[in-house]
């Protein structure tokens, strides 16, 4: 893939409104966005399309965001994939699941789009986009 093209970002969330909000904001910033409505589809899309970053909700049908992160990070082909988990819940149990998932960051819902952009820049300074 030529370096001038944006690197893909996968958004995995069962809430269509949330996907639309995040993906339209990222597209406006020049990111290439792909989406998946559940953990299984997210896993398939991640394996097939090798996104640079995955933004995933913690609670998903079929495969949770934590499990999806662990599956992706355990695959040698995707160890450099940055994973950000979105969660409505906080506390010791969530913190433990986050650590076990090997995800790179977690963001608490509700959040502003600028919070996602900040995490993308922090975790992935080599992402190509048109900002």
Domain span at 69: 8-117
**Is 80 a member of any domain?**
yes
Number of domains forming the structure of the chain: 1
Give pLDDT tens digits for 21-58: 999 999 998 889 999 999 999 999 999 999 999 999 99
Instruction: Give the Cα separation of 90 and 106 in Å (integer).
Output: 10
**Is 3 a member of any domain?**
no
Average pLDDT (82-86) is 95
pTM equals 0.87
Cα atoms in the 13 Å half-sphere on the side-chain side of 83: 30
CB atoms within 10 A of CB 57: 23
Give pLDDT tens digits for 104-115: 999 998 888 899
Q: Among 20-29, 79-88, 122-131, which stretch is predicted with the lowest mean pLDDT?
A: 122-131
**Is 127 a member of any domain?**
no
Give me 64's structure tokens: 């949770």
**Is 70 a member of any domain?**
yes
> What is the pLDDT, as a whole number, of residue 7?
77
**Is 129 a member of any domain?**
no
5: pLDDT confidence band, cut at 50, 70 and 90? low
Domain CATH for 55 = 3.40.50.2300
Give pLDDT tens digits for 57-72: 999 999 999 999 999 9
**Is 90 a member of any domain?**
yes
Give pLDDT tens digits for 7-31: 799 999 999 999 999 999 999 988 8
**Is 128 a member of any domain?**
no
Strand-pair category, 8-12 with 82-87: unpaired
**Is 73 a member of any domain?**
yes
């Amino acid at each position: 893939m030529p370096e001038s093209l944006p690197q893909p970002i996968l958004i995995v969330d069962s809430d269509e409104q949330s996907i639309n909000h995040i993906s339209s904001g990222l597209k406006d910033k020049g990111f290439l966005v792909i989406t998946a409505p559940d953990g299984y589809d997210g896993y398939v899309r991640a394996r097939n399309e090798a996104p640079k970053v995955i933004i995933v909700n913690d609670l998903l049908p079929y495969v949770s965001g934590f499990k999806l992160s662990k599956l992706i990070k355990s695959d040698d082909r995707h160890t450099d994939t940055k994973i950000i988990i979105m969660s409505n819940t906080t506390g010791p149990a969530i913190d433990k699941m986050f650590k076990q998932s090997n995800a790179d960051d977690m963001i608490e819902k509700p959040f502003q789009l600028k919070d996602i952009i900040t995490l993308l820049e922090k975790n992935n300074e080599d992402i190509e986009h048109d900002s």
